[in-house]
Amino acid sequence: MEREARTLHARRAPRPWNDRSPRAEYYLHKKIKTTYFYIGQKNRAQAGFLNNGSSAWTGDWVGAYGGTDLPHNRRGFFPRNFRPKENPFYCALPFNDVTLWGHKPKSFDIIPWARAMEKNAGGEFISYCKNQWVKITYKSRACYAQWEDVGPFQTDDRQYVFGTDRPKNRRNGGVGLDVSPACFAYLGMKDNGNTDWQFVEFEDVPDGPWLRVVTTSRASW
């Protein structure tokens, strides 16, 4: 137990290229229709994707993660058949800051922490969205996840993701957030439901299973 506590404490240090000052308070999005998805999921035509072998920011998402994150083959909140190389607590939100030609125009103005990340990126091209922490609450339970993909359905819903609007999407009951099997299980969700979510700083993420493996990889295709 002492060794595990030291490990979690060591991971508390913020990523050097993600240093932000001053501390921000982010908008709380309430009653957002939430579904689950998973790395390696195929034939998701009903959700607007063919498969999740890749993500918006990772060409070989299955390889980066270490395998397919099957929702019904678990050991606790983790995959049963392999040890994940990245955080099993992940989510998708409908905004992508990256295009084939670089960052979307006005990304610095849209994304609150973009300038600080760029300043500390050392000249390397990065996604300002990938790996950002999100607090997700369902009824009386809360979990913490990292933003690792784009969706559902929309890729440029900036007024919702970084503002106060409701999601633009109207499909599947207006779903505005996808969460991983680990998040779904931790929150006690049995079916699609409404959650509250907001961005949080890494320093404000409490100890929990979401800190056992923290994703730090940058965008790669």
Ranges of residues in the chain whose predicted pLDDT is under 50 = 1-22, 47, 49
CATH fold group of domain 2-18+26-67+79-211 = Barwin-like endoglucanases (2.40.40)
Tokens describing residue 89 = 């607590």
pLDDT of residue 8: 37
Please report the pLDDT score of residue 12 as a whole number.
43
Q: What does the radius of gyration of the chain's CA atoms come to, in whole angstroms? A: 16
Bridge partners of 179, per DSSP, are 36, 91
First to last CA, the chain: 38
- Residue 109's beta-bridge partner residues? none
Please report the pLDDT score of residue 24 as a whole number.
59
- Can you give the residue ranges of every domain in the chain? 2-18+26-67+79-211
What's the predicted TM-score (pTM) here? Answer: 0.87
Max Cα distance, the chain (Å): 48
Cβ(204)–Cβ(77) under 8 Å? no
